[in-house]
Structure 1
Amino acid sequence: MTFDRYGQYKPQGAFTSKRSTRFAQLCPFSPSARNEDDISAERLPASTNSDNRLGRFEAAYVGAVVEPDFRSNGSSGGMVSWVAAELLRRGLVDGIAHAKPSGEGGFFRYSISRSLDELHAGAKSRYYPVELSEVLDQIRATPGRYAVVGVPCFIKAVHLLREQDELFRTRIAFTLGLFCGHMKSARLVESFAWQTETTIDAVSRPEYRLKGPERPANWYTAQLTLNNGEVRQKDWFYLADGDWGAGFFQNSACNWCDDVLAETADISFGDAWVEPYSSDWRGTNVAVVRSPLMLEMIEAGIAEGRLDLKAVDADYIANTQAAGLRQRREGLAYRLTWQKNGLRPRKRVAPSADLPFPRKLIYRLRYDISAWSHRLFWLSRQWKQPQLYLRWARASLQLYQGLSYGRGRPGVWARKLGLTKRND
């Protein structure tokens, strides 16, 4: 896996040839690969619940970790790190593969944590591209049982690999999924640097979501620590590309994904983007528990007072991720109509253009912002003219927010077009 000129990872080498049957069966976006429904049906045949938005599951919860340090050290309610730590403490795994800060070849990389201290060092959200090849080589070389933490396409890829390779089928014992809106390219943090009056070469450590009682959980603040120790901050709200839903620097493959909630994982986690939790600065998780063993672990944590969780239904979970589900269901159905039959990805969503014109306009604009953000940023880097990209980004964001929904009411252009329902 290597970075392309846009800061997105792409596979390279003879193995990735169009004639490679094995690669086609491993890539989570390949039409030759099994889809999420097929994988889940085989892995979780006796699930108590099944929902076309959440997938198969045993139970769902909202809440946070009570046990010290997990919630305070994480971006949200601390549930991902708590479950990973519990797997280590119970001796169910020898290591956890997850994204951690790295001083080599990028700000973050996948590595294996074998202790609680190492695990805590990898807490918090990382909106930066990473890839699995190095850590999979380590799992292949070192006997033991492992858990892998990842976004939906990574977890799906792990299961596709397990189907082909008995060694990984034996050694990767658990998968912990992260709800995903889309993946960003490496240029996002570089844009943060430009907008805080510095350069990417001067940055030693980025933080994407700071916690503090002065800001609600859904008010993201980016922080860059520079090589000289100086710290610079800026709220996402004031960034030219700080509206996540607009799609700046979105990985192109994310336009064709229909899995928001990591349906093939043993347990999946997201943020509780509903009140009163979205205003709670401490952060709150929603969790979809899919395997019986994970359910036993969660129920034990609740009974012991280590977890403060409340059981919720599928509609509650879906409501916390409503915007992402619209993009991956309604929006995906529309995007599929743009492709000719021979080039159309095979997805669980049927192609459909049965949408009001303003909704189509929003999906078109989001797609174009995603594509052109890569191109304009690349051009700005080549010409050493950050303002070229930033002026375009501000204008694009203004147009997007004028069409979409924000601060509880439709944007100005949405009102003029008669778009009065939520459309983010």
Structure 2
Amino acid sequence: MSADPITRTVARNLCTGCGACAGAFPGLIRMVDDPVNGRRPVVVQSAEAREAAAKAVSLCAGAQSDWGRLPRTDAIDEDWGPVLAAWEGWASDDEIRHRGSSGGAVTALALHALATGTADGVAHVAARADDPRLNAAVISRDRAGLLRGAGSRYAQASPAESLGRIAGGTERVAFVGKPCDVASVHKAAQSDPFLKAKIPLTIAIFCAGAPNLVATDRLLDRLGVPKDGRLVDLRYRGDGWPGLMQAAWIDAEGTRNESEGISYAEGWGKVLQSERRWRCRVCADHTGAFADISVGDPWHAPPAGNTDAGRSLIVARTPRGKAFVEAAIAAGALTAEPRPRDIIARAQPNLAATHGAVWGRRLAMRAVGLPAPRDRGRKLRRQWLDLPRRAQVQSLLGTWKRVLRERLWRRVRIAESAQ
């Protein structure tokens, strides 16, 4: 096995698959889709590539991040990262609201960035045209491009692969990604003032973990997509809140077929979530602490059905993000009402419990000699102590059981032949 630090990060189960390393050094580091381990970087076997990996590891938030540099004033900020202000609302554009996973706020904010000249492009992910099971990092410059990525993509994605194009271009590009993706982009921008100047805004999407390709194929089986059908569309959410999971394929006669739609609760709860990678299960940031703005589901006021008009929870993390959201509301791009700063805990109670369990999981990993991510300045132990005793014990014993069941001591190896 190569001794380079990127390959070691993957091997030790610390990689999140954000793609920042590959984006910074295209041609020397590339992202591949491993069906089991997820989308992960492979370093070319050359001295130049190993040198690139040694530099790229400084961008990796998978192994380590620094919460100590985030401004925090109270317990809310300690638990969730900086929360300057919060709103509940939706895209004023009816189509964007309908297509979005919840209220379409991410797409509305991205489009507002383009419309106002805040950004020339928006980096995000969209389904690959040749295989909708997979995601591609794209930069959109218009409404149509943004709508390609509207709605959740519950599959491995590496939007930070766009960093190379952003750094090498002349455009200002807003960035949209999962919390782990934004954390790596934040590290990259902090270390490179020229790159920082080209990223005027970052938006994080709340995330409970990314399932692998095995999970996607199981979902297609549940949806009744035949093995010999040519998949042309796979929707995880959207077309209402939270939306139905549904697929479309072309059969041998050339006819387009659509599957039945299954609920988000069934698709996520019974099919997809069990195949989240272990790195996702020890993640300490599911709500985008390092972003300018983060957006998620306001589950404290859940929809009555599967295709209701959507609503989004919108959180400003930085002064820049707060000013941008306020401007989007004033311009009519967003329809939103202020909410108390503690709204995340009420909207996402499961994530509060998850953060506490993460401290116990990481402790259990280190107790048996396994490496665990480090988030400097992140006070997870207090959240673990707030858990019921049974949950505390489960975070330890459950981890040791998983270590044995999944053989987590084994090195993760990504084959060059992966998709």
TM-score (norm 2): 0.75
Q: What is the letter of the counterpart of residue 225 of structure 1?
A: A
Q: Note if contact 1:6-1:374 (Cα within 8 Å) is conserved in structure 2.
A: no
Q: What is the letter of the counterpart of residue 235 of structure 1?
A: I
Q: How far apart are residue 90 of structure 1 and its match?
A: 0.8
More displaced, 363-372 or 59-68? 363-372
Helix, strand or coil: the match of 1:169? Answer: helix
Work out whether 1:118 is the aligned partner of 2:145.
yes
Q: How far apart are residue 362 of structure 1 and its match?
A: 7.5
**2: CA distance, partners of 1:205 / 1:276:** 27
Q: How far apart are residue 95 of structure 1 and its match?
A: 0.4
**Which residue matches 1:268?**
294
**Which residue matches 1:26?**
59
Q: Note if contact 1:94-1:114 (Cα within 8 Å) is conserved in structure 2.
A: yes
Q: How far apart are residue 306 of structure 1 and its match?
A: 4.4
Q: How far apart are residue 191 of structure 1 and its match?
A: 0.5
Q: How far apart are residue 36 of structure 1 and its match?
A: 3.3
**Which residue matches 2:235?**
207
Helix, strand or coil: the match of 2:42? Answer: coil
Q: Which has the higher contact order (CA 8 A, sep 6+)?
A: 2
**2: CA distance, partners of 1:66 / 1:30:** 39
**Which residue matches 2:412?**
none
Q: Deviations over 1:144-187 (max 9, x none)?
A: 10111001000001111223334422322211111111111122
Structure 1 unaligned runs (5+)? 376-424
Distance 1:63 1:370, change over 3 A: farther
**1: CA distance, partners of 2:115 / 2:289:** 26
More displaced, 256-265 or 197-206? 197-206
Q: Note if contact 2:82-2:317 (Cα within 8 Å) is conserved in structure 1.
A: yes
**Which residue matches 1:350?**
381
Helix, strand or coil: the match of 1:29? Answer: coil
Name which of 159, 171, 177 aligns with 1:132: 159
Q: What is the letter of the counterpart of residue 110 of structure 1?
A: A
Q: What is the letter of the counterpart of residue 346 of structure 1?
A: R
Q: Deviations over 1:30-89 (max 9, x none)?
A: 24xx42342x34xxx9x8996222311321011212233220221211110111111111
Helix, strand or coil: the match of 2:290? Answer: coil
**Which residue matches 2:118?**
92
Aligned-residue identity in percent: 23
Q: What is the letter of the counterpart of residue 298 of structure 2?
A: A
**Which residue matches 2:244?**
221
**2: CA distance, partners of 1:207 / 1:130:** 15
Name which of 10, 15, 31 aligns with 2:40: 10
**2: CA distance, partners of 1:2 / 1:263:** 27
Q: Note if contact 1:252-1:371 (Cα within 8 Å) is conserved in structure 2.
A: no
Name which of 299, 315, 322 aligns with 2:349: 322
Distance 1:366 1:99, change over 3 A: farther
Distance 1:369 1:75, change over 3 A: farther
Q: How far apart are residue 295 of structure 1 and its match?
A: 2.4
Name which of 236, 243, 257 aligns with 2:283: 257
Name which of 57, 63, 66 aligns with 2:89: 63
Name which of 262, 274, 284 aligns with 1:235: 262
Q: What is the letter of the counterpart of residue 11 of structure 1?
A: P
**Which residue matches 2:109?**
83
Name which of 166, 170, 183 aligns with 1:143: 170
Matches within 5 A, 1:39-54: 40-41=70-71, 51-54=77-80
Q: How far apart are residue 118 of structure 1 and its match?
A: 1.5
Structure 2 unaligned runs (5+)? 1-30, 409-419
Q: How far apart are residue 134 of structure 1 and its match?
A: 4.2
Q: What is the letter of the counterpart of residue 211 of structure 1?
A: D
**Which residue matches 2:274?**
248
Q: Deviations over 1:311-370 (max 9, x none)?
A: 11132222111102211x221121122123663432322396875336644786599689
Q: How far apart are residue 277 of structure 1 and its match?
A: 4.8
Q: Note if contact 2:61-2:183 (Cα within 8 Å) is conserved in structure 1.
A: yes
Q: Note if contact 2:83-2:341 (Cα within 8 Å) is conserved in structure 1.
A: no
**2: CA distance, partners of 1:303 / 1:225:** 39
Q: Note if contact 1:209-1:222 (Cα within 8 Å) is conserved in structure 2.
A: yes
Give aligned pairs, total: 361
Q: What is the letter of the counterpart of residue 75 of structure 1?
A: S
